[in-house]
Amino acid sequence: MKFSAYLEENYKVKINPNSMFDVQVKRIHEYKRQLLNCLHIITLYNRIKKEPTKSWTPRTVIIGGKAAPGYHTAKLIIKLVTSIGDIVNNDPLVGDLLKVIYLENYRVTLAEKGEEAEAGASGTGNMKFMLNGALTIGTMDGANVEMAEEAGEENLFIFGMRVPDVKAMDEKGYDAESYYNRIPELKQAMDQISGGLFSPSQPDLFMDLVNMLMHHDRFKVFADYEAYITCQERVSALYKKGSTFLRGLRREACTVTSSPAP
C-alpha cells in the first residue's frame, strides 16, 4: 500500500495495490535483457486489448536502474520503457490491468522500498528480493543457480535456455529472424516498436534497438521469448490464487525450457 502510494505520488500513475508487482531493478544492460521484459509487456498489452474482459491478473511492471553515461543502447532501452508506459498507462481499455513504471535514479534508499514488493530477476539483486519474500523469475544463470541449489528449483520460476543450449546455439548460429517469422505475437510487438506505436512523434526512434534484436543480438532475446511468456502466464495464474503465492508455497512454480532452434 505504501509503495503504491509512493508510485502514485511520484509518477502520477494510479496503481492498483492488489496488482502483482513485477519488478526488474538492476543496471540497464543488454545482457540483463530488459528488452525481453519490454516484449512481455507489449505482448500482455496486445492480449488485453484483444480481449479486455477476460479475467487478467492485474500487473504493475516496474523497471529501474542506471545506465552508464556513454552507453547509447542502454539509454534507448530506458526510453523504450518510459515510452511503452506512456501508451499503456493512458489507454482507457487497459485501465488498471497493466501499468508500467520506470523507477528513476534507482539507488539503495529506493531499493529498500521496491524490494518489499514481489518479483525480481537475476544477479545479486535477486537474493535481496528473495530475502524480502519476493519470487524470482529468471534463467538458470548467475546467482539463480545457487538459489535453485539452496531453495530447490521448484521454488523459482526458471525459463529459457540453459548453458549447454546456448553453447549449442552458438555453434549452429543464432537466427533472430526465424523466431520473428515464426511467432506472430513477437512479430507484432517488434512491428509496433519499429512502426512507431510507442514513439508517434519520432517513429524511427527505436530502430537501433530493432536492428540490434533482429541482426546482432549477442544475448539471443528472441530465443527465450516464448518460454518467458509461458512462464509469466504461470506466474499470473499462481498469483490469482493469492495465499499460495504470498506464503511462498510454490509447488506449482514452473520450469519452461526454450524449444530448440528452428
**Interface residues with ligand PLP (CB under 6 A)?**
26-27, 106-108, 111, 123-126, 128
Whole-number minimum distance, CB 127 to ligand PLP, in Å? 8
Whole-number minimum distance, CB 96 to ligand PLP, in Å? 28
Whole-number minimum distance, CB 262 to ligand PLP, in Å? 31
Identity of the residue, 7 or 186, whose beta carbon is nearer to ligand PLP in the bound complex: 7
Within 10 angstroms of residue 13's Cβ, the number of other Cβ atoms is 17
Whole-number minimum distance, CB 143 to ligand PLP, in Å? 7
| Positive or negative torsion for Cα 217, 185, 225, 205 | positive
Identity of the residue, 93 or 108, whose beta carbon is nearer to ligand PLP in the bound complex: 108
How many residues in total does the chain contain? Answer: 262
Identity of the residue, 115 or 224, whose beta carbon is nearer to ligand PLP in the bound complex: 115
Kindly provide the residue ranges of all beta strands, DSSP E only, lying in the chain, ordered along the sequence. 20-25, 59-64, 98-103, 119-120, 135-138, 157-159, 255-256
> Which strands sit side by side in the sheet containing 59-64, from one edge to the other?
98-103, 59-64, 20-25, 119-120, 135-138, 157-159, 255-256
Whole-number minimum distance, CB 139 to ligand PLP, in Å? 13
Grid cell, residue 248, equals 511462498
Identity of the residue, 144 or 155, whose beta carbon is nearer to ligand PLP in the bound complex: 144
Identity of the residue, 97 or 101, whose beta carbon is nearer to ligand PLP in the bound complex: 101
One-letter identity of residue 181: N
